[in-house]
Amino acid sequence: MSVQIIDTNSQRVTETWQGNLRAILGKDICGAEKSCGSIRELEPSKGFEFESNDVHCLAYCMSGSGDFTYKGTLSQVGRSCGVYLDPHEKCTIVAGSKGLTLLQLTVPKIKGEKLTGGYVFSPGISHQLRDAGGLRLRTFCVNSKMPSRKGRVSTNSACMQAGEMRYSPNGFSPLHKHAGPDHFYLIFEGTGTVDDGTTTLPVGPGNLVFIPEDEPHRLRASESGLHYFEFIAPNQHKTSILSGDKKKDLQWFFVDTGEEWNQS
Protein backbone atom coordinates (compact mmCIF):
# COMPACT_ATOMS: atom_id res chain seq x y z
CA MET A 1 0.00 0.00 0.00
CA SER A 2 1.51 3.33 -1.08
CA VAL A 3 -0.83 5.51 1.00
CA GLN A 4 1.09 7.17 3.86
CA ILE A 5 -0.20 8.33 7.24
CA ILE A 6 1.74 11.29 8.66
CA ASP A 7 1.19 12.27 12.30
CA THR A 8 1.27 16.07 11.92
CA ASN A 9 1.45 16.57 15.70
CA SER A 10 4.82 14.81 15.85
CA GLN A 11 6.48 16.74 12.99
CA ARG A 12 9.46 18.88 13.88
CA VAL A 13 8.57 22.32 15.25
CA THR A 14 10.38 25.47 14.13
CA GLU A 15 10.01 28.34 16.60
CA THR A 16 9.55 31.85 15.18
CA TRP A 17 8.82 35.16 16.87
CA GLN A 18 5.17 34.89 15.75
CA GLY A 19 4.69 31.29 16.96
CA ASN A 20 5.42 27.71 15.93
CA LEU A 21 5.70 26.31 12.40
CA ARG A 22 5.52 22.61 11.43
CA ALA A 23 6.19 21.29 7.92
CA ILE A 24 3.67 18.51 7.21
CA LEU A 25 3.75 18.03 3.43
CA GLY A 26 6.61 17.87 0.93
CA LYS A 27 8.88 15.61 -1.05
CA ASP A 28 11.14 14.86 1.93
CA ILE A 29 8.16 14.09 4.20
CA CYS A 30 5.91 11.93 2.02
CA GLY A 31 7.16 12.15 -1.55
CA ALA A 32 4.76 14.91 -2.64
CA GLU A 33 5.96 16.20 -6.02
CA LYS A 34 3.48 19.01 -6.70
CA SER A 35 2.74 20.59 -3.32
CA CYS A 36 4.14 21.48 0.07
CA GLY A 37 2.46 22.49 3.28
CA SER A 38 2.83 23.50 6.90
CA ILE A 39 0.80 24.30 10.00
CA ARG A 40 1.48 27.72 11.51
CA GLU A 41 0.39 28.52 15.07
CA LEU A 42 0.29 32.30 15.48
CA GLU A 43 0.40 33.66 19.02
CA PRO A 44 -2.26 36.22 20.05
CA SER A 45 -1.95 39.54 18.19
CA LYS A 46 1.10 38.35 16.21
CA GLY A 47 1.09 38.58 12.41
CA PHE A 48 3.02 38.24 9.16
CA GLU A 49 2.91 38.94 5.44
CA PHE A 50 1.61 35.88 3.59
CA GLU A 51 3.20 36.23 0.13
CA SER A 52 2.82 33.94 -2.88
CA ASN A 53 5.86 35.12 -4.86
CA ASP A 54 6.01 32.87 -7.98
CA VAL A 55 3.55 30.17 -6.80
CA HIS A 56 -0.09 29.75 -5.77
CA CYS A 57 -0.80 29.78 -2.03
CA LEU A 58 -3.63 28.94 0.35
CA ALA A 59 -3.92 29.86 4.04
CA TYR A 60 -6.82 28.09 5.75
CA CYS A 61 -7.95 28.80 9.31
CA MET A 62 -8.04 25.57 11.34
CA SER A 63 -8.85 27.25 14.66
CA GLY A 64 -8.89 30.64 16.34
CA SER A 65 -9.63 33.95 14.65
CA GLY A 66 -7.90 37.00 13.24
CA ASP A 67 -7.75 39.72 10.60
CA PHE A 68 -6.81 39.26 6.94
CA THR A 69 -5.99 42.33 4.86
CA TYR A 70 -6.03 41.61 1.14
CA LYS A 71 -5.88 44.32 -1.53
CA GLY A 72 -6.62 46.97 1.08
CA THR A 73 -9.76 45.27 2.44
CA LEU A 74 -9.83 44.04 6.05
CA SER A 75 -11.75 40.81 6.74
CA GLN A 76 -12.32 39.23 10.14
CA VAL A 77 -11.88 35.49 9.81
CA GLY A 78 -12.48 32.37 11.89
CA ARG A 79 -12.53 28.63 11.47
CA SER A 80 -12.97 27.40 7.87
CA CYS A 81 -12.13 30.86 6.46
CA GLY A 82 -8.94 31.71 4.60
CA VAL A 83 -7.25 33.31 1.64
CA TYR A 84 -6.27 31.99 -1.79
CA LEU A 85 -3.47 33.81 -3.65
CA ASP A 86 -2.40 33.72 -7.27
CA PRO A 87 1.33 34.33 -7.93
CA HIS A 88 2.80 37.67 -6.79
CA GLU A 89 0.01 38.52 -4.37
CA LYS A 90 0.09 39.01 -0.62
CA CYS A 91 -2.18 39.17 2.41
CA THR A 92 -1.42 40.55 5.87
CA ILE A 93 -2.52 38.07 8.54
CA VAL A 94 -2.83 39.01 12.24
CA ALA A 95 -4.04 36.63 14.95
CA GLY A 96 -6.84 37.57 17.31
CA SER A 97 -6.78 37.54 21.10
CA LYS A 98 -6.78 33.73 21.34
CA GLY A 99 -4.31 33.04 18.54
CA LEU A 100 -4.76 31.57 15.08
CA THR A 101 -3.78 28.19 13.60
CA LEU A 102 -3.34 28.09 9.83
CA LEU A 103 -2.87 25.35 7.27
CA GLN A 104 -0.53 26.82 4.62
CA LEU A 105 -0.21 25.22 1.18
CA THR A 106 1.78 26.12 -1.94
CA VAL A 107 1.72 24.70 -5.47
CA PRO A 108 3.52 25.66 -8.71
CA LYS A 109 1.83 27.89 -11.25
CA ILE A 110 0.60 26.37 -14.49
CA LYS A 111 2.23 27.73 -17.63
CA GLY A 112 -0.02 29.80 -19.87
CA GLU A 113 -2.90 30.37 -17.47
CA LYS A 114 -4.58 33.80 -17.49
CA LEU A 115 -5.23 34.46 -13.84
CA THR A 116 -8.10 36.43 -12.29
CA GLY A 117 -6.60 36.99 -8.83
CA GLY A 118 -7.10 35.60 -5.38
CA TYR A 119 -9.73 36.17 -2.70
CA VAL A 120 -10.60 35.84 0.97
CA PHE A 121 -13.18 33.10 1.54
CA SER A 122 -15.60 31.96 4.23
CA PRO A 123 -18.09 29.07 4.40
CA GLY A 124 -20.90 31.39 3.35
CA ILE A 125 -19.39 32.11 -0.07
CA SER A 126 -17.79 28.73 -0.72
CA HIS A 127 -19.48 25.99 -2.77
CA GLN A 128 -21.31 23.38 -0.68
CA LEU A 129 -22.42 20.07 -2.20
CA ARG A 130 -23.90 16.77 -0.99
CA ASP A 131 -23.30 13.41 -2.64
CA ALA A 132 -26.11 11.42 -4.27
CA GLY A 133 -26.12 8.94 -1.38
CA GLY A 134 -26.54 11.67 1.24
CA LEU A 135 -23.55 10.47 3.28
CA ARG A 136 -20.93 13.08 2.35
CA LEU A 137 -20.97 16.88 2.46
CA ARG A 138 -18.17 18.90 0.88
CA THR A 139 -17.31 22.60 0.80
CA PHE A 140 -14.95 23.86 -1.91
CA CYS A 141 -12.95 27.00 -1.21
CA VAL A 142 -10.84 26.54 -4.38
CA ASN A 143 -12.00 24.60 -7.45
CA SER A 144 -11.79 25.85 -11.04
CA LYS A 145 -14.23 23.11 -12.09
CA MET A 146 -17.09 24.81 -10.25
CA PRO A 147 -19.61 26.63 -12.48
CA SER A 148 -19.76 30.40 -12.16
CA ARG A 149 -22.31 31.14 -9.41
CA LYS A 150 -23.26 34.60 -8.15
CA GLY A 151 -21.89 35.40 -4.72
CA ARG A 152 -19.55 32.39 -4.63
CA VAL A 153 -15.77 32.21 -4.79
CA SER A 154 -14.29 31.66 -8.24
CA THR A 155 -10.89 30.99 -9.79
CA ASN A 156 -9.89 30.05 -13.32
CA SER A 157 -6.61 28.45 -12.21
CA ALA A 158 -6.36 24.65 -12.21
CA CYS A 159 -3.48 24.80 -9.71
CA MET A 160 -5.40 23.16 -6.86
CA GLN A 161 -8.69 21.85 -5.52
CA ALA A 162 -9.26 22.43 -1.81
CA GLY A 163 -11.98 22.33 0.82
CA GLU A 164 -13.61 20.54 3.71
CA MET A 165 -15.43 17.23 3.72
CA ARG A 166 -17.78 15.73 6.30
CA TYR A 167 -18.88 12.07 6.41
CA SER A 168 -21.96 10.92 8.27
CA PRO A 169 -21.42 8.11 10.81
CA ASN A 170 -20.25 5.03 8.87
CA GLY A 171 -20.18 7.05 5.65
CA PHE A 172 -17.66 6.15 3.00
CA SER A 173 -16.30 6.97 -0.44
CA PRO A 174 -16.13 4.43 -3.27
CA LEU A 175 -12.81 2.78 -4.03
CA HIS A 176 -11.33 5.15 -6.59
CA LYS A 177 -8.15 6.75 -7.92
CA HIS A 178 -7.01 10.03 -9.46
CA ALA A 179 -4.66 10.22 -12.42
CA GLY A 180 -1.98 12.87 -12.02
CA PRO A 181 -2.18 14.84 -8.77
CA ASP A 182 -0.79 14.97 -5.26
CA HIS A 183 -3.70 14.24 -2.96
CA PHE A 184 -4.22 14.30 0.81
CA TYR A 185 -6.76 14.29 3.61
CA LEU A 186 -6.01 16.11 6.89
CA ILE A 187 -8.29 14.67 9.58
CA PHE A 188 -9.79 17.24 11.98
CA GLU A 189 -12.42 15.24 13.86
CA GLY A 190 -13.62 11.65 14.05
CA THR A 191 -12.01 8.32 13.29
CA GLY A 192 -12.13 5.86 10.43
CA THR A 193 -10.03 3.85 8.01
CA VAL A 194 -8.39 4.23 4.61
CA ASP A 195 -7.83 1.22 2.36
CA ASP A 196 -6.64 0.35 -1.13
CA GLY A 197 -8.97 -2.62 -1.57
CA THR A 198 -6.53 -4.95 0.18
CA THR A 199 -4.81 -3.23 3.11
CA THR A 200 -6.63 -1.09 5.71
CA LEU A 201 -5.10 1.57 7.98
CA PRO A 202 -6.74 3.51 10.86
CA VAL A 203 -6.99 7.32 10.71
CA GLY A 204 -7.87 9.95 13.28
CA PRO A 205 -7.38 13.60 14.28
CA GLY A 206 -4.01 15.03 13.31
CA ASN A 207 -3.36 12.41 10.64
CA LEU A 208 -2.44 13.57 7.14
CA VAL A 209 -3.31 10.82 4.67
CA PHE A 210 -1.10 11.25 1.60
CA ILE A 211 -2.24 9.45 -1.55
CA PRO A 212 0.18 9.24 -4.50
CA GLU A 213 -1.16 9.62 -8.04
CA ASP A 214 -3.05 6.60 -9.43
CA GLU A 215 -3.17 4.95 -6.00
CA PRO A 216 -6.53 3.22 -5.27
CA HIS A 217 -8.06 4.51 -2.03
CA ARG A 218 -11.29 4.52 -0.05
CA LEU A 219 -12.03 6.45 3.13
CA ARG A 220 -14.56 5.10 5.62
CA ALA A 221 -15.86 6.79 8.78
CA SER A 222 -16.53 5.04 12.05
CA GLU A 223 -19.66 5.73 14.07
CA SER A 224 -18.09 9.08 14.98
CA GLY A 225 -18.29 10.37 11.40
CA LEU A 226 -15.35 12.27 9.87
CA HIS A 227 -14.48 15.92 9.32
CA TYR A 228 -11.35 16.65 7.29
CA PHE A 229 -9.62 18.94 4.81
CA GLU A 230 -9.13 17.56 1.29
CA PHE A 231 -6.55 18.79 -1.20
CA ILE A 232 -5.60 17.87 -4.79
CA ALA A 233 -2.91 19.53 -6.92
CA PRO A 234 -3.04 20.22 -9.75
CA ASN A 235 -6.78 20.22 -10.42
CA GLN A 236 -6.32 18.58 -13.83
CA HIS A 237 -6.91 15.01 -12.72
CA LYS A 238 -9.36 12.35 -13.85
CA THR A 239 -11.24 10.36 -11.21
CA SER A 240 -11.87 6.66 -11.88
CA ILE A 241 -14.38 4.68 -9.79
CA LEU A 242 -13.01 1.18 -9.14
CA SER A 243 -15.97 -0.29 -7.26
CA GLY A 244 -19.56 0.81 -6.84
CA ASP A 245 -21.94 2.76 -9.07
CA LYS A 246 -19.72 4.64 -11.55
CA LYS A 247 -22.41 7.23 -12.32
CA LYS A 248 -23.95 7.78 -8.89
CA ASP A 249 -20.62 7.90 -7.06
CA LEU A 250 -19.55 10.91 -9.16
CA GLN A 251 -22.85 12.78 -8.69
CA TRP A 252 -23.02 15.74 -6.34
CA PHE A 253 -25.75 18.34 -5.75
CA PHE A 254 -25.42 21.96 -4.64
CA VAL A 255 -27.01 22.31 -1.22
CA ASP A 256 -28.58 25.71 -1.95
CA THR A 257 -30.06 25.03 -5.40
CA GLY A 258 -30.17 21.26 -5.89
CA GLU A 259 -28.27 21.70 -9.18
CA GLU A 260 -26.29 18.61 -10.21
CA TRP A 261 -22.51 18.64 -10.54
CA ASN A 262 -20.56 15.65 -11.81
CA GLN A 263 -17.08 15.06 -10.43
CA SER A 264 -14.40 14.46 -13.03
pLDDT digits (tens, 9 = 90+) for 15-68: 999 999 999 999 999 999 999 999 999 999 999 999 999 999 999 999 999 999
**In terms of CATH architecture, what is 125-257?**
Sandwich (2.60)
Task: Report domain extents, the chain.
Answer: 10-121, 125-257
**In terms of CATH architecture, what is 10-121?**
Sandwich (2.60)
Residues 98-107: what's their mean pLDDT? Answer: 98
User: How many Å apart are CA 112 and CA 21, to the nearest integer?
Assistant: 33
Sequence-separated (6 or more) residues with CB below 8 Å from residue 167 = 135, 136, 190, 192, 219, 221, 225, 226, 227
* Listed residue (107, 244, 88) closest to 176, CA to CA: 244
| 125-257 matches 10-121 in CATH topology | yes
Three-state secondary-structure class, residue 121: strand
> What is the average pLDDT score of the chain?
96
Instruction: For the full predicted model, state whether its pTM sits above 0.85.
Output: yes
